Chain A
Amino acid sequence: MLVYHQTGHNYVWNYDSYTNDNAGNGLIFSPVNIPSEKLVKLDKAIKENSFFDPQFYLPKEIKGKLETYKCFPANIVNGFQTDDFENLKNDIAKLCIDFQLDNWFKFLLIPTRYFEVIPSDYLNQIKEYFIEPFLNYYLSNRIQKEIYLTVIVNQDQLLNDERRNILLNFITSIQDISGIYLIFENKYPTKQIKNLDYLFNAMLFIHALKLNNFKVNIGYTNTEGILYSIVGPESITMGSYENLRQFSIQRFINCQNKTVRQPNPRLYSRKLFQWIDYRYIEGLQKLYKNWQDIFEDSKYKPLMFEPTFNWHFNKPEPYKHFFLIFSSQINDLPICLKERIHYLQNIFNNALRIYHEISEAGVYLDENSDGSHINFWLTCIKMFEKYLRESNYELSD
């Protein structure tokens, strides 16, 4: 399984991490954050291992550097409205595909749009304004590169059996695409997902796509990407800031007058599968004798543990440390999915053991730094194993 950098604000950190530290397998470029004139000048070798997310999620909203992309709908027509798709869909498809081809991306992506409240004809809109024009251009020009469809699964859809199945049926009926760039919307206020239905349904969704021979690249994943690995997606992602590890449409809305809350810096622990608030670190150092074991080594660790290190969300070290640690964590996963399940159960249980030790040592981590999400993961694995047995499915070797 691969892991792509989900780029966004401070995308240079991802770029440096990939090129200088060999962390990750490529980048997912974000036109909201990188101007097209910069993107076109990037090294071809980097782009050949990466892909471009057109981010048409809100086609009327020109956020950030989207203004520099000719293919973005609102750049083609002033005051773009949904009806404009009817006249412009073929032009948009050509511009968008040509841009991706000209930049040698690993594969092509058909964009999608986001709906807060899903209209009854939204699948028809997706089909008519995106899938058909893009595939028409793709097939008529005999383009050899693989093409994927972006799919956003709204949180409500994921949690509703009927709506989820409607979406699955729609996707699996599409011909001529190699796979899906899959995004699960996450509106939970917690740093980790602690909803069993959400996690299990996400796994079932990925599994259904895999059963239908679609490749699946999951975007905007946080550490639950490790759990999803059991179902065999082609890739997950690693992002720096929370809004790159948790998909919310807020990221694509212009909020000029809104004050953006500065995140508190956190440090990722591979053993704990958690980003620990940096303000707990000294407590762990003083109270938990094995604290060295829970923060893995990297070239960035010594600097971060200097007493004079000024923890701030604009410091790259915690994020570059995460990219290194997380990508090696993914590389260590067994290739065989059956073995992966047992491997993950062992390391999840080990994480719970360590959290217990930390608590016994007198450190009380709050719900955004503790291991309360891991029990959900373990339960999810059991539910998935049961589902496989009852359905007579076997995971591929």
Chain B
Amino acid sequence: MSFRTESEMSLKFKNFLLSLLKNTNVELFHEFTGLFGIPDYLLVERNNTKVEHIISFELKLRNWRKGLKQAFKYRSFSNEVFVIIDVSNLQLALNNFRYFSKYNIGLGSFDDSSHFKIYYYPGKAFPYSYHLINKLTSIFSENQEKTFLNTDPLFSKYSQNNSELANILISLKEEKWSLNNEEGF
């Protein structure tokens, strides 16, 4: 059954994330402002004082295109960004999967039984804005250290291997669905 409103979807999604991230060192922020756009949810994984990994989520009942446009902004400060569509309206987003691949934005679905699936996990990428990374890490790093992932953000290579958060989400990837299955939907 589909959600009636985005608020309803958001609340359920929040509870889902909280249970998923229990006993981890990941913090959850709702509608984080002051960066570029306002992600519905921002997950920040920290290791002591350093920010290790950032994931942003944009929730939409059906407007995948608007979600994609907003989500791209979050790539400026996030390791990964996902657009999460109400599963009842997912088909249109899947039909336009190529745009998610093109802009390297993840695609997932969520329903009112709290079933969450990822259909496209974005490729490895570093947040593209040095300014916003610094701003974010200044906010979260207690000692105001301007580094991210323990390395110089201008020259580092992103690695997923050490991120507990990324590993949790990868495990939720819908195994049956891949790029080759695109036309089957």
Contacts and interface: CB of A to CB of B under 8 A. Distances in A.
A382 interface: no
Contacts of B154: 307
B104 A311 contact: no
Contacts of A363: 72, 103
A283 B75 contact: yes
User: What is the size category of the interface that chain B forms with chain A?
Assistant: 10 to 19
A282 B104 CA distance: 16
Contacts of B102: 359-360, 362
Contacts of A395: none
A307 B129 CA distance: 10
A261 interface: no
B157 to A, nearest CB: 14
Interface residues of A, number: 16
A287 B72 contact: no
A285 B130 CA distance: 11
A283 B73 CA distance: 9
Contacts of A277: 36
A279 interface: yes
A118 to B, nearest CB: 36
A259 to B, nearest CB: 15
A359 B129 CA distance: 18
Interface in A357-391: 359-360, 362-364, 366-367
Contacts of A279: 36, 73, 76, 129, 131-132
A367 B72 CA distance: 13
B68 interface: yes
A38 interface: no
A258 interface: no
Interface string B130-165: 111000000000000000000000100000000000
A286 interface: yes
A372 to B, nearest CB: 12
Given A362-B102, A362-B103, A282 B73 contact: no
A287 B75 CA distance: 12
Given A311-B131, A362-B103, A364-B103, A283 B68 contact: no
B30 interface: no
Contacts of A282: 76, 128-131
A207 B169 CA distance: 60
B69 interface: yes
A342 B69 CA distance: 33
A360 B103 CA distance: 9
B128 A283 contact: yes
Contacts of A366: 69-70, 73
B164 to A, nearest CB: 26
B128 A286 contact: yes
Interface string B103-135: 110000000000000000000000011111000
A125 B122 CA distance: 63
B128 A287 contact: yes
Contacts of B103: 362-364
Given A364-B68, A364-B69, A283 B104 contact: no
11 contacts: A279-B36, A279-B131, A282-B76, A282-B129, A283-B76, A283-B129, A359-B102, A360-B102, A362-B102, A364-B68, A364-B103
Given A311-B131, A362-B104, 6 more contacts: A279-B129, A282-B128, A307-B154, A360-B102, A363-B72, A366-B70
**Closest 4 pairs between A and B when the two form their complex, measured CB to CB:** A364-B72, A279-B36, A283-B128, A282-B129
Interface of B: 36, 68-70, 72-73, 75-76, 102-104, 128-132, 154
